Structure 1
Amino acid sequence: MPVHHRYATVDGHQLFYREAGDPSAPAVVLLHGFPTSSFMFRDLIPALADRYHVIAPDHLGFGFSDAPDAADFDYSFDALAELTAKLLTGLGVTRYAIYVQDYGAPIGWRLALRPGTPVTAIITQNGNAYEAGLVDDFWKPVRAYWAHPGADTEAGVRAALDLEAIRWQYLHGVPDPTVVSPDTWTHDHALVSRPGNDVVQLRLFADYATNLALYPRLHAHLREHRPPVLAVWGRNDEIFGPAGAEAFRDDEPEAEIHLLDGGHFLLESHGAEVAALIRDFLRPKD
């Protein structure tokens, strides 16, 4: 099943996306996190495309999508979710399951909360929705930046753009780091290092505080609408800890939860296992 690499113009911006599978099949939308792109799904897409219509966009400012200067575009998670919704509408995709990781989660939660509840199922891979999932040591400098954005606190979050910090995200918590290709962190670092992209990323770090305020609305949505939830988590992640996966059962008692021996980018070490769990989860039940 071939994977197509395409662009669409949304609100004047070129958005890159990967697409595979029969457009008449049930849709699955893959939403990447920081600092990566749809590149993180390069192996998962063909593993699902025989049965599903799979779409994986690069968020504006990431990957091969446009990255307008922060002076020319008001970067926020609201804005990124709106662009994603318009992309999907333009592709004729109105009902879909989501796979969310890291930044993809708050974008996915906004899609799920849109009128008409277009999201039919939630697959979250270290995609957080609960305060319990925020590991204190990692989030302390980010919280300081939220409280007092400026030169004194910026250094603590700007460090996340360094090559070594991105490499750490990929390798930390992985029992055998040799299974993770250096293409990953090298690719990501090159793209977030484009001129002006540091300011884009700082805007999104600052805006991340709005995601915590969104959590209660998502929890209420889970209790009311009961979308099926699969939480498959790298349990060694020191950004979004496993308590964030287990917390989904607070609002969806039937949530399926798997804690695997991996880290933040679980697909790099456990891709086949995650794909099998997704296929079983999405398979129509008798």
Structure 2
Amino acid sequence: MLRRTHPLLAPTAETGSAETGSAPSESGSTQVRYRTVAVDGLDIFYREAGPSGAPAILLLHGFPTSSQMFRDLIPRLADRYRVVAPDYPGFGHSAAPDRDAFAYTFDAYAALVDKFTRQVGLDRFAIYVMDYGAPVGFRLATANPDRVTALVIQNGNAYEDGIAGFWDPIKAYWRTGAAPEREAIRSFTSLQATQWQYTHGVKDTSLISPDAWTLDQALLDRPGNQEIQLDLFYDYRNNLPLYPRWQAYFRDRKPPALVVWGANDEIFVAPGAEAYRRDLPHAEIHMIDTGHFALETHGPQVAALIRDFLDRSVGSSRA
């Protein structure tokens, strides 16, 4: 049985939905709207802002967060771009179906996000990929290369160069798929681990709102959600064999690419950023003195880089 969006989080007449809400107007294009659309019978929550006819950018979040990681970035881009940020099933305010009713895999996420983009009218779009957003977004791009106008990559991996010691206990689980190894990484869903992801490698942690990890943890702590996350940790092993396919896409299609990377990240380490130069020699790479969640500490700087990059790569709608 599917667990749909919690009633208290369901769209209202005030916030609207994809079926009933009005599109953002040109005069109020930076107003963020919070919508829900049914995709394959699942309620998918998303944030949207910007002129409906402007060039689009799809924001794909990572673990353990949701589209809330883009709460400040969206209005910084929405005067020129249509900005859309969905939550995957099991994350944020989207449905969290039972594990026997939905396969929590990156293949399933990519297929669902593909359908989502078509339902909300994203025909061509740039993609911002971060963490889990990379295996979702790169699947989407390789399956639909003509629909993707540009890549913005923030601590999102496509090279084994980017995977270091943090992954050792997860790799042990990949090797066995057994209960002891699964239990050994359960702590990755704890409050301590979530806060560490936000603060590790950050020089000035006073820049990071504790609201971010508190909200993420509240959603991780929902009944059954740890098991969903452990399933995804296990399925991540299926991303690495796809790296050569994604790299071939980079070489063959040469999408405009901006790489913005928290240089002190231990989850996806700095060599993973530099590796993009092998297949995207014209990629613009910016290493930032921060950790995994670069938007939390360097949001205005990252937004400025994205605006400049997209203006040159795909154009803009100047409201």
Instruction: Give TM class, smaller chain.
Output: over 0.9
5+ residue gaps, structure 1, are: none
Cα drift, residue 116 of structure 1: 4.7
SS at match of 1:267: helix
Question: Are positions 1:275 and 2:303 aligned together?
Answer: yes
Q: Is the 8 A contact 1:146 1:206 kept in 2?
A: yes
Q: Is the 8 A contact 2:145 2:253 kept in 1?
A: no
Match of 1:149 in 2: 177
Pair member with larger Rg: 2
SS at match of 1:209: helix
Deviations along 1:201-231, one digit per CA (max 9) or x if unpaired, are 1111111011111110010011000001111
| Alpha-carbon distance between aligned partners in 2 of 1:156 and 1:247, rounded to the nearest angstrom | 30
User: 1:2 aligned to 31, 48, 51, which one?
Assistant: 31
TM-score, normalised with respect to structure 1: 0.98
State the one-letter code of the partner of 1:134: I
Match of 2:83 in 1: 54
Question: Are positions 1:119 and 2:148 aligned together?
Answer: yes
Cα drift, residue 284 of structure 1: 2.8
Work out the number of aligned pairs and report it: 285
SS at match of 1:9: strand
State the one-letter code of the partner of 2:136: I
Q: Is the 8 A contact 1:69 1:197 kept in 2?
A: no
| Larger deviation, residues 147-156 vs 170-179 | 147-156
TM-score, normalised with respect to structure 2: 0.88
Match of 1:90 in 2: 119
Q: CA RMSD in A?
A: 1.1
Q: 1:177 to 1:110 in 2, by over 3 A?
A: same
Q: Is the 8 A contact 2:200 2:265 kept in 1?
A: yes
Match of 1:18 in 2: 47
Match of 2:100 in 1: 71
Cα drift, residue 72 of structure 1: 1.5
| Alpha-carbon distance between aligned partners in 1 of 2:304 and 2:312, rounded to the nearest angstrom | 14
User: 2:238 aligned to 205, 210, 235, which one?
Assistant: 210
Q: 1:158 to 1:171 in 2, by over 3 A?
A: same
Cα drift, residue 69 of structure 1: 1.3
| Alpha-carbon distance between aligned partners in 2 of 1:85 and 1:145, rounded to the nearest angstrom | 29
Cα drift, residue 150 of structure 1: 1.6
Match of 2:136 in 1: 107
Cα drift, residue 120 of structure 1: 1.1
| Alpha-carbon distance between aligned partners in 1 of 2:244 and 2:208, rounded to the nearest angstrom | 35
Cα drift, residue 152 of structure 1: 1.7
State the one-letter code of the partner of 2:252: E
Cα drift, residue 92 of structure 1: 1.3
User: 2:269 aligned to 241, 258, 261, which one?
Assistant: 241
SS at match of 1:113: helix
Q: Is the 8 A contact 1:36 1:62 kept in 2?
A: yes
Cα drift, residue 157 of structure 1: 1.9
Q: Is the 8 A contact 2:131 2:156 kept in 1?
A: yes
Match of 2:207 in 1: 179
SS at match of 2:47: strand
Q: Is the 8 A contact 1:18 1:56 kept in 2?
A: yes
| Alpha-carbon distance between aligned partners in 2 of 1:103 and 1:157, rounded to the nearest angstrom | 17
State the one-letter code of the partner of 1:85: D
